[in-house]
Amino acid sequence: MSSSQPKFFPIDSVPPMKQMPSVSKASTSIEDFHKVLEKSTRIMALCGAGLSAASGLGTFRGAGGLWRNYQATSLATPQAFKKDPGLVWLFYSYRRHMALQAKPNAGHYALTELSKKLPEFITLTQNVDETPPTIPVDDLPKCPECKTGLLRPGVVWFGEALPEDTIEEIDTWIAEKRVDLCLVIGTTATVHPAAGYVEEARQAGARIVVINMDSEELGAASGLRKGDFLFEGDASTILPDILKPIIGDLDLKGGVKDGADT
């Protein structure tokens, strides 16, 4: 696994799983986390929309979950595309437009620096980083082969499975040897396969580390135990701080300042 090419897998979802117990046993001590981090080499990061919120990209849930009075999660399904492909294409055109305008925030840079320092770091992401009011079906993208079938956005929708080779590669990485840390960043991790990977990492020895804006909306990651960590707040400010022993001080104009081996 190359240090300059971190493993990166897009993942999405199927129905949510039942919430787990409280988070009262989790530590909120950055100092204690630093001690654990300094001994860790195999780290998995599970990233959700909350990581990109500081970049101006709305999340599917919460205050940013509506688009033109539609619940965004209801548009990210095969059923929605079958019912109104033009509307779904408009939604993803909007998402793409927003993503093209967005810039990486300090949280993204912190994870990038971590990937440079730790060759066995892996990232799993659930993210897919004014349009016309309607798009006639005749104007939608068509299959280049048959010229009649509609093309669809190249994303994994709610209710769809990941490609088998992606699932196999992630499962293989987790099973290879002990996982030290599982960072759950900006996501409730309540949908599969994301929810399952948190537990898989724990079974492989990982401590779970949750970074989320709201500790009351932790979903599957709420079953934290003694030895796990919980940091409530904006991932773009928390990640550079908690990862500092490995990545040093971030200089967003010129890379890493100091405090870490280069």
Rg (CA), the chain: 19
Q: Residue 179: which of 45, 85, 33, 88 has the closest Cα?
A: 45
Q: What Cα–Cα distance (Å) separates residue 142 from each residue in 81, 90, 139, 148, 151? A: 14, 15, 9, 6, 5
The predicted structure's pLDDT at residue 42: 97
Pull the structure tokens for residue 100: 């093209």
Domains of the chain, residue spans: 7-256
Helix (H) / strand (E) containing 83: helix 78-83
Tens digits of per-residue pLDDT, 205-261?
Answer: 999 999 987 666 655 556 788 999 999 999 999 999 999 999 999 877 654 455 455
More confident residue, 146 or 226: 226
Sequence-ordered strand ranges (E) for 93-249: 121-125, 181-185, 191-193, 207-212, 229-232
100: Cβ contacts below 8 Å, ≥ 6 apart = none
Range in 64-78, 79-93, 202-216 the model is least confident about: 64-78
The predicted structure's pLDDT at residue 207: 96
pTM > 0.75: yes or no: no
Tens digits of per-residue pLDDT, 149-193?
Answer: 656 666 665 666 666 777 888 889 999 999 999 999 988 777 777
The fold for domain 7-256 equals: Rossmann fold (3.40.50)
The predicted structure's pLDDT at residue 208: 94
The predicted structure's pLDDT at residue 40: 97
- Contact status, residue 1 vs residue 119, Cβ threshold 8 Å: yes
What average pLDDT score do residues 83-92 get? Answer: 82
Span between the terminal Cα atoms of the chain, in Å: 18
The predicted structure's pLDDT at residue 201: 94
Sequence-ordered strand ranges (E) for 107-202: 121-125, 181-185, 191-193
7: β partners: 122
Helix (H) / strand (E) containing 196: helix 194-203
Q: Could you tell me what percent of the chain has a pLDDT over 90?
A: 32
- Residue 236's Cα: distance from chain center in Å? 13
181: β partners: 43, 207
Range in 8-12, 64-68, 176-180 the model is least confident about: 8-12
The predicted structure's pLDDT at residue 134: 38
Q: Residue 137's pLDDT band (boundaries 50, 70, 90)? A: very low
Pull the structure tokens for residue 65: 């979950």
The predicted structure's pLDDT at residue 260: 54
DSSP string, 151-198: P--SSPPTTPPPPHHHHHHHHHHHHHS---EEEEES----EEEHHHHH
More confident residue, 69 or 201: 201
